[in-house]
Amino acid sequence: MASKCTIGTSGGILTGQAIRERGIIERASDSCCRYASYDLRIGELIQPDGNVVLDYVLPPRGIVEVISRERVAVPDDLVGTAMVKTSLCNYGILALGTGVIDPGWDGQISSYLINFGKNPRHLGAGDVFYAPLFNAWTAHYQ
């Protein structure tokens, strides 16, 4: 089993278990803890017409906004990086807005998903869409 990083070590990546133990993810599930990340799940989807739904069939060349079920609270000594799940890419789904989750961020994580595949793809509450990594951050957040 992978060991937890030492908090405060420059560049150290937290394990999924360390992420959970630090309370960074509210409404976390043990099944979503990975060796070096946590799988964020879809909480709700916002259709192009603005309707909020729990399930959506994303057509080819279609777009939908997804908002995480979990709330993410990044402490001042950490920085996160939102990474798209490879499993989505395997179906031709691209997540927009991947990148940095700043120290001090406290809220849900959202993204737009675009279907570049040839087939419609069902998306629903509970499906995984991002895997954030959390690294030690030695600079002071203000």
d(CA 27, CA 16): 14
In a domain, 57, yes or no: yes
Domain that residue 47 falls in: 16-136
Look at the chain and report how many structural domains it folds into: 1
pLDDT band at residue 75, thresholds of 50, 70 and 90? very high
The DSSP H or E segment spanning 93 is strand 93-96
In a domain, 10, yes or no: no
In a domain, 38, yes or no: yes
d(CA 1, CA 33): 13
Q: What is the mean pLDDT of residues 10-20?
A: 81
Is the pLDDT at 5 greater than 90, yes or no? Answer: no
Place of tokens 């908002």: 67
Residues in contact with 70: Cβ distance below 8 Å, sequence separation at least 6, in sequence order: 25, 26, 27, 28, 38, 40, 41, 43, 108, 109
pLDDT tens for each residue of 17-50: 899 889 999 999 999 999 999 999 999 999 999 9
Which among 128, 26, 136 has a CA at the least distance from the CA of 81? 136
CATH number assigned to the domain comprising residue 27: 2.70.40.10
φ/ψ region of 138 (left if φ > 0, alpha if ψ in -120 to 50, else beta) reads alpha
Is the pLDDT at 119 greater than 80, yes or no? Answer: yes
